[in-house]
């Protein structure tokens, strides 16, 4: 029998930042084993216009302080390189959401995108909880009075409501929503989860009494039915065609007077003009906002100066342990990639 001539396996070219190369070089080697591969430094690849990468890891230092609305020139060069790489097959990103235009463009070209959903879930959930607690205890008002050196007792109309017995409706029941739901239940709140599909095992009717430690689940189509009994509307969902401006003027009007909004999802989930109007009218009691329709939030936005609003710069997911969790997610997916297994957190997969 004649011997078959086999071509040597082509090296897998992996593109990542210099910082990630330094941190992950040894671990990538362990994952790849005897498989041939080449690590490409992102800055050198941009400078040399190397468009031959097969895989790319976009860590947080790559996007830096750019937002999806305002992209710095250095990041734009990275995006251009990715778009111009004909052999690119898979990109892993540090964020939980993949709603930046670059990722849609790459998906349209057949590139598989995986996210780091879940890496910062506990952090975001605790930040959302902090927003609930701060608004419930009227901290924005108290901080303003502290700056003015005013001592005003919390009596009469200033008296905070008890949190136990109030209802929090969490839109999005992924890792963030589920962790936040457990935290709020521990404080005695009733929790309603809004998700794509309900789970029969724990599904409750939204118009029935809520039992202790039971999460009532409804679909997005039923959101307006639960809003009238919602004290805290908390957004922890991805930005999709279904969630774009989901919280609009009618939705805000359906909330009971004095209800609060917490948004750690995406700014475009909310009609921001309608939100401003609901806050200015006093119908909405307050809001904790980490995300906005345009980021950075323009200086002229009235949200900055509203005493019942807390503004943070899309920082709910930031913590010093998040980078390590994201790197591990990339390595785990690289192991799946090299062994032909399905990737975790693949955008568009069920």
The dotted CATH code for 121-311 is 3.40.50.720
Condensed to tens digits (0 to 9), the pLDDT of residues 88-132 reads: 999 999 999 999 999 999 999 999 999 999 999 999 999 999 999
Domains 12-119+321-339 and 121-311 share a fold: yes
Average pLDDT over residues 234-242: 96
Residue with the bigger pLDDT between 198 and 328: it is 328
pTM: predicted TM-score of the whole model, two decimal places: 0.92
What is the pLDDT, as a whole number, of residue 200?
A: 57
Token pair of 280 as six digits: 């200015």
- Angle 53-348-43 from CA coordinates, rounded to 5°: 25
**pLDDT band at 199, cuts 50/70/90?**
confident
Expressed in angstroms, the distance from the first to the final Cα of the chain is 47
Say whether pLDDT at 1 is over 50.
no
What is the pLDDT, as a whole number, of residue 9?
A: 66
What is the pLDDT, as a whole number, of residue 138?
A: 97
Token pair of 245 as six digits: 């401006």
What is the pLDDT, as a whole number, of residue 213?
A: 59
How far is residue 168 from each of residues 191, 194, 198, 235, 337, measured CA to CA in Å?
Answer: 5, 11, 17, 10, 40
b/e burial code for range 226-249 (CB count within 10 A of at least 16 → b): bbebbbbbbbbbbbeeebeebbee
How far is residue 132 from each of residues 185, 267, 309, measured CA to CA in Å?
Answer: 13, 18, 12
Average pLDDT value for the chain: 93
- Asked if 100 and 82 touch (Cβ cutoff 8 Å), the reply is no
CATH architecture of 12-119+321-339: 3-Layer(aba) Sandwich (3.40)
Domain residue limits, the chain: 12-119+321-339, 121-311
What is the pLDDT, as a whole number, of residue 7?
A: 45
Positions marked catalytic: 266, 314
């Amino acid at each position: 029998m004649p011997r078959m001539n086999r071509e040597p396996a082509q090296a897998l070219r992996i593109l990542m930042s210099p910082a990630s190369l330094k941190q992950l070089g040894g671990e990538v080697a362990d994952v790849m084993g005897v498989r041939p591969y080449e690590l490409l430094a992102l800055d050198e690849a941009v400078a040399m216009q190397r468009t031959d990468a097969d895989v790319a890891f976009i860590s947080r230092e790559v996007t830096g302080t750019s937002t999806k609305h305002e992209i710095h020139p250095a990041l734009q060069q990275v995006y251009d390189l990715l778009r111009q790489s004909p052999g690119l097959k898979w990109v892993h990103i540090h964020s939980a959401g993949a709603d930046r235009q670059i990722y849609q463009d790459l998906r349209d070209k057949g590139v598989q995108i995986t996210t780091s959903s879940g890496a910062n879930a506990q952090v975001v959930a605790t930040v959302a909880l902090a927003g609930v607690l701060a608004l419930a205890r009227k901290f924005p008002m108290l901080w303003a009075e502290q700056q003015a050196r005013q001592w005003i007792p919390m009596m009469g109309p200033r008296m905070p409501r008890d949190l136990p017995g109030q209802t929090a409706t969490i839109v999005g029941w992924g890792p963030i929503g589920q962790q936040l739901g457990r935290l709020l239940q521990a404080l005695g709140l009733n929790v309603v989860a809004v998700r794509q599909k309900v789970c029969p095992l724990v599904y409750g009717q939204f118009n029935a009494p809520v039992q202790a430690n039971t999460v009532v689940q409804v679909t997005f189509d039923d959101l307006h039915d639960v809003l009238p009994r919602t004290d805290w509307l908390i957004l922890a969902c991805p930005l999709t065609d279904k969630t774009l401006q989901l919280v609009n003027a009618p939705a805000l009007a359906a909330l009971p007077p004095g209800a609060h909004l917490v948004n750690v999802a995406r700014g475009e989930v909310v009609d921001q003009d309608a939100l401003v109007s609901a806050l200015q009218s006093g119908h909405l009691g307050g809001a904790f906002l980490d995300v906005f329709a345009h980021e950075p939030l323009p200086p002229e936005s009235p949200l900055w100066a509203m005493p019942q609003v807390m503004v943070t710069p899309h920082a709910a997911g930031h913590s010093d342990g998040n980078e390590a969790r994201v790197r591990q997610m990339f390595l785990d997916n690289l192991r799946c990639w090299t062994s032909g297994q399905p990737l975790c957190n693949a955008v568009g997969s069920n």
